[in-house]
Structure 1
Amino acid sequence: MDEERVKKLVRELIIELGEDPTREGLRETPERIANMYKEIFGGYDSDSELSVQFSEDSDVVIARNIQFYSMCEHHMLPFYGKIHIAYSPNGRVFGISKLVRLVEKYSKRLQIQERLTKNIADELNAQGVNGVVVLVDAEHLCMKMRGVKNDAMLSSSAFRGIYENKEEKAAIMTQIRKNTTDSYF
């Protein structure tokens, strides 16, 4: 990202909105926005580090309530929530921090929730696990602040490997939702 260009564009936007970019409250805004964008869109340059695994086995590993923040690619407004990941290892397990990094890799981009869900499941599945489930529950400010102005939440899911089987899917969904709070925020 070219930070100087972003600063210039933000300054121009401030002018287009009818504001004075030299007034006290706005003087540092272009720099603050450029720094913020560098952080919240850092997923384009990140590595989930899934290659770091440990020789252990388990029937299923579940990471619940991984908090995420992302930006809707349609309106550039935030959506945020919790991601639940379950996978069936194939002799090797991932550290929990690797699952969080995987979530950050895809959430810190211009994104839609459905693609975020699929990207996480696909990358984890590509590591040779027996199966993967990714559930995402999120609130979208583009829907709350504009348009229909509704508090509805969106849930999306992706199933790979053994969890594409109807019985396995039902069993793992029960396990994931067990001890998961109804209110994610």
Structure 2
Amino acid sequence: MIVVKDIDIHSLCEHHLIPFTGKMHIGYVPSGAVIGLSKLPQIAEIVSRRLQIQERLTKEVARMVMDVLQPQGVAVVLEASHLCMEMRSVEKKGSTTVTSCVLGCFMESDVHNEFLRLLGINQTRRYC
């Protein structure tokens, strides 16, 4: 498993045209091909330059890595703060929103849990 953590993300909320910023974590399990580590932050940067919503940004990065590398699996977690929440209506400063997208072998609990462990998240994934 290859994981790049704490990739700075800056994008504009497509609903409010106000910035959101955060940290993205990308992991993948190669099935042959690997890319240079700097390519994962570049993929995140390309996708985040568009007007976005956080959920779609997370999913688009995961799908792009999956399409380009065709690995056994990909996982992406994005933790972000939205200025629209801090500046408008609810004015909740310091709150973060976390989104994730897991594809391929990351849907298996042992692989998913290893990824979370590498991120420093002590959580066991349970399936219903």
TM-score, with structure 2 as normaliser:
0.89
Residue 166 of structure 1 deviates from its aligned partner by 2.1
How far apart, CA to CA, are the structure 1 residues paired with 2:73 and 2:41?
A: 18
Residue segments in structure 2 that go unaligned for 5+ positions in a row: 122-128
- 2:12 corresponds in structure 1 to 71
Q: Which of the pair has the greater relative contact order for Cα pairs under 8 Å at 6+ separation? A: 2
How far apart, CA to CA, are the structure 2 residues paired with 1:99 and 1:85?
A: 7
- 1:176 corresponds in structure 2 to 119
**Larger helix proportion, structure 1 or 2?**
1
3-state SS in 2 of match to 1:135: strand
1:133 aligned to 65, 75, 84, which one?
A: 75
Checking the alignment, whether the CA contact within 8 Å between 1:75 and 1:142 is kept in structure 2 is: yes
Q: Cα RMSD between the aligned structures? A: 1.1
Residue 88 of structure 2 is aligned to residue 146 of structure 1: yes
- 2:40 corresponds in structure 1 to 99
3-state SS in 2 of match to 1:99: helix
Percent of matched pairs sharing the same residue: 39
How far apart, CA to CA, are the structure 2 residues paired with 1:158 and 1:123?
A: 12
Checking the alignment, whether the CA contact within 8 Å between 1:138 and 1:155 is kept in structure 2 is: yes
Return the letter of the residue paired with 2:74: V
Number of residue pairs matched by the alignment: 119
TM-score, with structure 1 as normaliser:
0.62
Residue 107 of structure 2 is aligned to residue 164 of structure 1: yes
Residue pairs, 1:14-93, within 5 angstroms: 60-93=1-34
Where in structure 1 do 4 or more consecutive aligned residues deviate above 2 Å? none
- 1:11 corresponds in structure 2 to none
Residue 102 of structure 2 is aligned to residue 155 of structure 1: no
3-state SS in 2 of match to 1:93: coil
3-state SS in 2 of match to 1:70: strand
Residue segments in structure 1 that go unaligned for 5+ positions in a row: 1-59, 179-185
Q: Compare CA radii of gyration and give the structure with the larger one.
A: 1
Residue 103 of structure 1 deviates from its aligned partner by 0.5
- 1:51-93 per-residue CA deviation (whole Å, 9 max, x = no partner) reads xxxxxxxxx1110001010000000000001100010011221
How far apart, CA to CA, are the structure 1 residues paired with 2:119 and 2:66?
A: 18
3-state SS in 2 of match to 1:149: coil
